[in-house]
Each structure stands twice: as C-alpha cells, then as structure tokens.
Chain A
Amino acid sequence: MEDFDVIIIGGGSAGLAALKHISALGKQAILIESGKEIGSKNVSGGILYSKNKEYGQVHNVEDIYGQKFLEEEPYERRITKYILNATSKDKVCSIDLTSIHDFQSNFGCSVLLNKLNTWFAKEAQEEAQKQGGGIVTGVHVKNIKWNNENTPIELDGGKQNSSTYDNSLIVETDELEEFRSRAIIAADGVNSEIASLLRAREKFSPDQLYQGVKVVIKLPEEIIEKRFEIGPDEGAAHLFSGDISLNQVGGGFLYTNRDSISIGGVYHLSSLLENPVEPDQLVNSLINNPLVKDLIQDEVPIKNIEKNLSKEEQTKKSFTISKLIRTWNELREIYYSPKNREKTIANGKFKSIEEIKDKINTTRRRLVEEFNTKFVTNYVELEYSAKVVPDGKRCMMNKPYYKNVLFVGDAAGRGIFLGPRIEGLNVGMDDAVRAAKTIIKYIKNNLTDPNIGEIYSQSIHESPYTRDMKKIDKDYLKVLLKAVKKIPLEDLGAKNNFLIRCMSNDFLRNFAVSTINKVGFYKFLSFVESPKIYIDIPILLAEKLGRKINTSTKFDIPELSERISKLKYYEDNNSHIIVTKPQIEFMKKMTVLCPTKCYSIEDQNVVIQHEGCIECGTCSKETSWKHPRGEKGIFFKYG
C-alpha cells in the first residue's frame, strides 16, 4: 500500500490554502478533490476579504499567495461601494454601509469561485510539486479508517485516549487503490462526509445553516461601470432586505464581477422549513425588484426561426444564427473592456475601436435583417447555483479535529454571519494555515505526536475569527449604527426608534453588548435574527423613506427547468443521496426547498431524482448524503 504523510481532502479555497502553505513550508502534501476539475464544485456569493483584525493575527489571501494575488487579479472587482437596500414593492431605501465593509479590512473583492480556486490551485500545485506533492482531482474519498481498526470509527469526537493508537490512516476512495496517510486535513466543505463518517460532529441542523442560492448574470464590463457608477478598478456590492425576502429571515445580495453580476439570497434554513418557499422564487423576487431590473438589464437577441422550413434548413439556420450571436457577444465583450480592446487591436485583429463598433453594428444588422432576430431588453443568466452556508456562531466545531484528522473551513462549520455580511472564504483560509502550521510541527515530531488535534484546536481558538463567531464586536456595532444614523428614524415609529437610539449611545451599547456576550451571544440570536429585524423594519424603512423607482422593463425570467437544463452535469446512474425517511415532514418540505426540485411525492413517499442535484446540502440532515463519485455530478463553470 502506498504511504503518504499528509492528505488534504477537498479542494475548495480552504483545502487549497492548506496545500499551498504546507508546501511553502517545505513538506509534501497531496490534495484530493472529487470534482472533475478544481473549482467545479464550489459556490460562494461572494466577497473575499483580507482582514486587519484588532484582536490578533489572521492569515490573509495575500499572505498565503503573495503579491501575485494582487498582480494577477484572479478576483473580479475590489468592492468600493457597499450599499444596503431596504425594499418594499417599487420603493427602495438605500443606506451606504461602505464603512461596515471597510471595518477592519484591508480590502474585499468579489470573486467567482471556479476562476479563483483554479488560480489558487495553479499556485498551490506548483509549490506542492516542488515537494513531491500535488493535486489529484476526480477522486472521491469514501471512507477513512485507522490502520489498527477494521471498521470505521464509532467513537465520540476526540475523547479517546490518544497515546494508545497506531496513528496511520487508511483512505478508501471510489477510484483508486487504498493508501495510507499519517494525518488528514478535512477541507471537504459544509456537507463534510468525513465529519459524519468519523462522527466528529453531528450533521448541521437547519437552525445552523443558511441556504444560499445564486444566479450569475452576464453584463459587459463598461456597462457595469456605468450602471453602478464605479470606475474600472472599483466594484459595488448591494445587499437587500425587506419584501424581496418573501417573508424569510435572511437577505439578498448583488455583487459586481468584472463582466458579470452575482445575484442571490441567503436565507435561514429554519425559516425556510417553517414556511417553505421555492429557492428559485427567492432569486426571482430579487431579479424582479425595480432597482435590480435597472441595474442588470441588457440588450438581448432572440432567435427566431421560421417553423415551416425543413428540419435541415432550420438546424443550419439556427446554427448560423447561434454563430452570429456568439460573434456579436464576443465583440461586445471586447468593445466594452479596455483590456480586451487593447489586446485585440494590438494583435492586429482590428485597427481601431471604431472598427470593432462597426463590426458589432453590422453583425447586429445582419441578425435583424437577414435572420429576423429581435433585440429586446432583458437579461442573460449564465448559471444557477446553490449551497448551504454554516453559521459559525451556531455551529463551529468546538474541537475541530478527530484524532489526527483536522477540520478546516466550512467542514468545521466556520463562517461569520455579521448582520448582512458573510465571511467564510477568509476564515477557511486562515484555518488552513493554522492546520498547515500544526502539521509541519507534527512532521517534525516524526508524525507521532498524539496531541496534534489539541495543538490545532488551540491555534483555532486564538483566531480572531473564532472570537467573531462567539461575540458581538461593539466597535462593529458602532460603525453599523453610525452608518444608519443618517436616517431620520423618527418616521419609523416609537418602539424601533427607541431601540436604535439606545444602541447609538456609546455607553448603553457597550453595556448591552457586554451583557449579551457574557450571557452568550447565541441566546439572543432569535431576537437578532428575527423576522422583525430582517423583514418588518426594512419594509417599514422602504415605505416610509424609500424612493420610488419606476421601471417599465419586463423580464423574461427563465423557468427553473430551463435553468437546470443549462447546467453542466456528469451524470452517474447511482444516486449519491438515499432517502431513508420517505414520509417525514422534513422530506416533504424538500419537495419545495430543493433548489433543483429533485424531490417529489409519489404514493405518499418522497422520492429523489438525483440527476438534477446540485449538491447544495439542504436535504443532507435527514438523508444518507454523500458527494457523488469522482468527476460525477454538477460542474459549476462560475460558482
């Protein structure tokens, strides 16, 4: 059997950071990812932060990947404008929260995880190969066992007397022969099979999870800049709460990427279970918001093929139109992007910007005149995606390890939800560095130190992020309240007003916050994250203070089935999910809450059609849930 020192399971941003760091410190590590390619299984909102924490050091993306990260810009845009929008019908009340965004941050940038993780992987792979390690994709870890035990572990997390065991682990995968490892970093995400397999923690419950659903929308670069009133080096982030949430606890987001927009919502799973709403409807309600409509609309060609032609002619015509539309799109991508323009002119394809413009116009004219194509105001979706997000304050693992298996990132339930903001990417990467450092020490101790887990756990507890998951930061609250202060609160009614006034008072706030933190932050969650805060107040705000937005734009929002049919799957006949409790309420609700409608009720039993599964994890709690075999399942092109 082959032997390795360190195996990292999962190639999301956390796992990759671990690989990069261990390798940078000169040791061999191998990362195993089940997706066909790195980045194909990862979904985020998302904004990647680089933080400058007051209470200790964190390891930021640029610390891990160096200046190259800033030079090669695998991210989309630096966020320079951060706005909260309270909505009610056609009214929107916008509050500038850029100060909140900047709070203890070096920067925050919008990212698309396929691109970002692919870049991380390129860097990590290069470093790892120097040490004889690397990245292996398309391999799904299905079991881990310790060498001296034949059966999978059936013990409570970490409670075993650690000095007595043979610490080498045997890793079983669906694709490769078994191999041995002396330590494992489990970076296998929020739906960690490794955690369940080892019983290192319970599966996350709905109360601990948010369901994130997202659509990536195409929009040319400079059109984005014009719409959002930002410069080429700037980006905007909008958050939404109010009626767009269809009465759910949570909110919507809209982030500008380089030449696309990420738009979606993140909603508390408990809230969704209480009052189920289709996830795609939540995205639609945001897309249908008049403010959003104005921001994302574009000119969209509609193919029109005469029905009375023969199939052959139709096919040919259709292909020719597709090709023209593609050309038109590509030209626009060039025309509206300074970098692309420059490149295209430099390589002699076009002589001038005007020539590109001309070509766009002639292509468009051809489409209209020769092929009867109509151009309408609409928007273009590139990808629909979903994933559950762990709310760290409710679910982070207190001891994020089991023997010599260390959990990082989402797998350890580590994510920060602070009001409207999510931080998971930066937290996972920081965890990864801590795990990497622990592993390096461990290797120096000949891979035998039974305390490896404890050492890692301590390091995690020193992380300022852990603190953020436990306590309200009174300074953060102060900045938040300051931002909100400009709003004439008188209009909001006495009760709410009073609360905000009290909190704006330094003394009262500090007192309240320290009391809350003493008693336990999590005990107040039902108050803080209540429908009142997330829905009622924003609606009130919008109605009383919002500006009315008139838009006559009508969107042709794709049906869910159309969204699904555009997704890329590598199908597997075998289902990775098995329904074990076909009659319980939870499962019945999945027929509504599964973002791709994989569940239906037949003969009073809930059955799954796994082919459409996008592996979000919403149904994980009450099913036998595994990731698909290597290379199989959903393949996100944007993520």
Chain B
Amino acid sequence: MSLNVAVIVKLEPDFSEGNISYNADGTLNRAETKSKLGAHSSVACLAAFYAKVNYGANISVATMGPPMSEIALSEAQSICDADSLHLYTDRIFASADTLATAEVLKKGIQKMKENENENNNGIDIIFSGHRASDGETGQTGPQTAWKLGYPFFGNVIDYHLNLKDRVVTLKRLVVLNGMDNIIEEIESPLPVFIALDPSYKPSFTTLSSRLKATIFEKNAEKKVANFKSYLKMFDHNSLELDPKEVGLSGSPTIVYKVERIPKGKMNRKAEIIDGRDRNQIKNIAEKILILNGQYGRS
C-alpha cells in the first residue's frame, strides 16, 4: 500500500529588503536579485514531508523553469527528503501563462507515473503552494489538477490519510469578503491535488513521529549534498509535448501593457492641522466622506 506524492514548486526572486535590487530606471534588477525556493512552495514541501514521515510516501518534486531552477529543487529536497527531482526546462516553455504551464506540468506528472511507479496507482497526491510571490496567481495548481482529472482542494490547512480506504480528510480555510472565515472539513477519495494555505503546518502529534521526522531531516541533508544524482531533466520532446501547446504559443493570455498606477502611493507627508480650527476639521470631514464614497465623487 504505497503512497506516491508529487510536489510542484517554483523558483522566485527574493523580494525581501537587503536582497532585492532595482535598476536605475526602477525595473527589477534580476541579475543582482537572488532567487530561492518560493515561500509558498516550501509550505507544499512541508506537507509532502508529513506524508513521508507519517505514511511513508515516495516524493517527487517538479518545477518548470530555466536550468537554474534546480536551486529550487535542491532546497525543496532539503525540506521534504525528496526521492526524485524533476526539472522541466526548454527554451520554448519560456513566458508561458498558467494554462501553458499547466500543460507541461500535466505531462510531467503523467510521466512520473509511467517512469517510477510502474506497478501501482501512480501519483496519489500532488501538493502545491498557495501561489507564487512574483505575479503568478495561484491558478497553475488548479489548472494542472483539472487537466490531470484530479479533484482540487485549495487553502488546505491540515490533512490526514486513510491509506487502507485510500481516502483523504482535509481542512480548508475559506476566507470570503463580508463573511466570517470558515473552516471546512472535506473527505475525498485519492488521488487529489492539494494547494496548501500559507498557514499550513504539519501536525505531528506524537513524540515518535517527531523523532522519525528528525531522521528524515537528516537523510534529506545527506541527499541534498548530492542532489544532482536525483535530478532528471525533461524538455518538450521527452515530455512528448506539442510545441504549439506550450510556452507563448500555448498561452491564451498576453501581457499587453504595463503602466504606473496613476494615483500611485505618494510618500506620506503629514499636513499638520490645529484641532481647534473648526474650518479645517470641516474640510477633513468632507475629505473622509468623499474618500468613503458617501459624498461627491473621489
């Protein structure tokens, strides 16, 4: 009763202060800005790690991106003690939108089934992060899931498996505008696609499982030292992808233009007003109501 899981990750620029750099014209200086495994991707790895420790899962991590994306794979391996790393890299994959990316990931994950897990059910669970921080919008996951025919569950904060019946129970955090937050508990047969909420944390509940986790952590360390031996590269040929379906050709959407948001946030420079000046307070009252759409037009 083996369990096979896949994790989809992404290499992202590190946008934190002290790491990010801009060119003189205000655009992102990609050369100077370091890249790393995206924060949300590492959450997905944690979920896979939980499956490894608790259910003995075999883990494959996959990413689509330029060759340097292998950094993301090795970082992912160090988190989840992955057994194999898959890099989908091909010039023609570049600049893909989510639909075209999902196409590549779909083929890649189908290949995982064929290659590694000949005599079992294929991939049982696919994990992905909530979204990437550099503009990707959290659609790649659900679209990949759909193309593969896996039910998709987003914002997952906890999950448990019943391996005997091959059923997953999971909790999702549903945040809706104008409503209280909802925690929804769902049961679904495997296979499934799970996108983790950023707040996900593996819920090891026994001391022995925590101990076990430390052993896998150690293993991961050893593997990462030699991560290239776990790495497999694929291009559109080896994934048997039609070039028309991927990259720019397979992307329905294009970025038509980029412009400054007109009323871009200005630096705050406080206008100081004397609280005893009724006229001034009146102006502020107006300002509040205008901004709030209760009066005039903004």
Contact = CB atoms under 8 A, between A and B. Distances in A.
A494 interface: no
A68 to B, nearest CB: 18
Query: Among A4, A312, A318, A325, which residue has the most Cβ atoms of chain B within 10 A?
Result: A312
B14 to A, nearest CB: 11
Nearest to A326: B18
B16 to A, nearest CB: 9
B214 A319 contact: no
Interface stretch (A302-310, A501-509, A596-604): A302-310
Contact of B264 (A4, A139, A311): A311
A173 B12 CA distance: 37
Given A129-B215, A316-B26, A323-B19, A136 B207 contact: yes
B210 interface: yes
B282 interface: no
Given A129-B215, A176-B207, A320-B22, A311 B17 contact: no
B18 A30 contact: no
Interface in B15-35: 17-22, 26, 32
A307 B214 contact: no
A179 interface: yes
Contacts of A319: 17-18, 20-22
A134 B208 CA distance: 10
Nearest to B201: A631
A177 interface: yes
A611 B274 CA distance: 35
Given A308-B267, A312-B26, 18 more contacts: A30-B211, A125-B214, A126-B218, A129-B214, A136-B207, A176-B204, A176-B205, A179-B207, A308-B269, A310-B264, A310-B265, A312-B264, A314-B267, A318-B17, A319-B17, A320-B21, A326-B18, A326-B19
8 contacts: A176-B204, A176-B206, A179-B207, A311-B267, A312-B264, A317-B22, A318-B17, A319-B17
A310 B267 contact: yes
Contacts of B22: 316-317, 319-320
A73 interface: no
A312 B265 contact: yes
A322 interface: yes
Contacts of A176: 204-207, 210
B225 interface: no
A202 interface: no
* 6 nearest A-B residue pairs (beta carbon): A311-B265, A136-B210, A316-B22, A323-B21, A326-B18, A322-B18
A274 interface: no
B218 to A, nearest CB: 7
A413 B65 CA distance: 57
B206 A313 contact: no
A562 interface: no
Interface size class of B (residues with CB under 8 A): 20 to 34
Contacts of A325: 18
A354 interface: no
A307 B266 CA distance: 10
Contact of A311 (B21, B215, B268): B268
Nearest to B209: A176
A71 interface: no
Contact of A134 (B21, B211, B267): B211
A139 B266 CA distance: 45
Interface in A157-202: 176-177, 179
A318 B265 CA distance: 15
A150 to B, nearest CB: 22
Interface string A318-341: 111011011000000000000000
Contacts, number: 75
A556 interface: no
A637 to B, nearest CB: 15
Interface string B249-292: 00000000000000011111100000000000000000000000
B267 A309 contact: yes
Nearest to B27: A316
A323 B32 contact: yes
B201 to A, nearest CB: 9
Nearest to B208: A2
A429 interface: no
A135 interface: yes
Query: Among B32, B204, B207, B269, which residue has the most Cβ atoms of chain A within 10 A?
Result: B207
Nearest to B269: A307
Nearest to B20: A319
A133 interface: yes
B54 to A, nearest CB: 14
A199 to B, nearest CB: 26
A2 B208 CA distance: 8
Nearest to B267: A311
Contacts of A179: 206-207
A322 B17 CA distance: 7
A312 B259 CA distance: 13
A256 B116 CA distance: 55
A282 B206 CA distance: 45
Nearest to A314: B267
B164 to A, nearest CB: 22
B216 to A, nearest CB: 11
Interface in B29-56: 32
B266 to A, nearest CB: 5
Nearest to B205: A177
A311 to B, nearest CB: 4
Interface in A26-64: 30, 32
Interface string B146-167: 0000000000000000000000
A307 B269 CA distance: 8
Contacts of A30: 207, 211
Contacts of B18: 319, 322-323, 325-326
A129 B218 contact: yes
A4 B20 contact: no
A127 to B, nearest CB: 12
Given A316-B26, A319-B21, A323-B32, A2 B207 contact: yes
A308 B267 CA distance: 7
Query: Among B22, B26, B268, which residue has the most Cβ atoms of chain A within 10 A?
Result: B22
A302 to B, nearest CB: 16
A312 B263 CA distance: 11
Contacts of B265: 310-312
Given A316-B26, A326-B18, A136 B214 contact: yes
A586 B4 CA distance: 60
B87 to A, nearest CB: 24
A309 B267 CA distance: 7
A510 B270 CA distance: 72
Contacts of B218: 125-126, 129
B122 to A, nearest CB: 33
Nearest to A138: B210
A73 to B, nearest CB: 21
Contacts of A132: 211
Contacts of A126: 218
Contacts of A312: 26, 264-265
Contacts of B210: 136, 139, 176
Contacts of B208: 2
Interface string A1-16: 0101000000000000
A139 B211 CA distance: 12
Interface string A131-151: 011111001000000000000
Given A136-B214, A319-B21, A323-B21, A177 B267 contact: no
Interface string B80-119: 0000000000000000000000000000000000000000
B207 to A, nearest CB: 5
A313 B268 contact: no
A310 B268 CA distance: 9
A177 B203 CA distance: 11
B213 to A, nearest CB: 8
